[in-house]
């Protein structure tokens, strides 16, 4: 994995690219859903903050990337449009959903994890790797040359998914 090809993904953002790019992001209670086409070596990340758009915004959805229910379909739409690939070519991996600030009143990380799984199930995209939950942050590097995700939970060793 060549770090010089790293593209940083911010909070509430989508980035799509092709090999040899490496998409990187840091996560707490947010979730990163990584979609990858092994045959074309292209993929993307959506780094969303909350499970549902309409809970916060009423009918207005100013930025689809911030929510699971709008962000995951938006990531898929962009990948299909830009690279002309069918949905069935993609596999998914997901990371994050931690309770870093040890909140007791609302566990956004757990809600985000459940929402991402439900939406991927609805879209019939297989989740082939995941690391979610806990109370520590995540750093992930998504290597589009191989489709591997190198995930480091804070203060732990890097694991490959």
Partner 1 sequence: MDMSADGSRPNKAVELIIQLSVDRVSQLLSKFIKVGAQISLEKAYVTDLSEATARVNAEDVQSEVIGSIVDVTGDAPFKFLFYADAPACLTLTDLVLQRKVGTSTDFDIYVQSAMQEIGNILASGVCSVFAADFNIRIKPTPPKVAHDFLGTILQEFVMETAAESDQVLIVESRFHIVRYNLRCNMFILPSPGTEGVINKFFLDQI
**Is position 92 an interface residue for partner 1 (rule: CB under 8 A)?**
no
113, 100 contact by CB (below 8 A): no
Token output for 57: 């915004």
The closest alpha carbon to 24, from 143, 122, 112, belongs to 143
- Exactly one of 2, 10, 54, 158 binds partner 1 (CB under 8 A); that residue is 10
CB nearer partner 1, residue 20 or residue 137: 137
Give the integer Cα–Cα distance in Å for 100 and 154. 10
- Exactly one of 18, 40, 63, 87 binds partner 1 (CB under 8 A); that residue is 63
The closest alpha carbon to 45, from 68, 71, 66, 15, belongs to 15
**Is position 100 an interface residue for partner 1 (rule: CB under 8 A)?**
yes
In this chain, which stretch among 18-26, 85-93, 125-133, 142-150 interacts with partner 1, using CB under 8 A?
A: 18-26
Residue count of the chain: 161
Q: Which residues bind partner 1 (CB under 8 A)?
A: 8-13, 24-30, 49-50, 56, 62-63, 65-66, 98, 100-102, 108, 136-139, 154
């Amino acid at each position: 994995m060549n770090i010089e090809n790293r593209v940083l993904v911010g909070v509430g953002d989508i980035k799509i690219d092709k090999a040899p790019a490496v998409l990187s992001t840091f996560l707490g209670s947010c979730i990163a859903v990584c979609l990858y086409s092994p045959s074309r070596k292209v993929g993307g990340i959506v780094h969303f903050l909350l499970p549902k758009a309409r809970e916060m915004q009423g009918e207005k959805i100013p930025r689809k990337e911030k929510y699971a229910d709008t962000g995951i379909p938006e990531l898929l739409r962009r990948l299909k449009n830009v690279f002309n690939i069918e949905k069935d070519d993609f596999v998914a991996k997901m990371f994050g959903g931690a309770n870093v600030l040890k909140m007791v009143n609302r566990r956004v990380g757990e809600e985000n994890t459940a929402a991402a799984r439900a939406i991927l199930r609805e879209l019939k995209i297989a989740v082939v790797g995941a690391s979610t939950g806990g109370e520590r942050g995540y750093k992930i590097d998504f290597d589009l040359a191989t489709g591997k995700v190198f995930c480091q939970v804070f203060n732990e060793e890097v694991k490959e998914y």
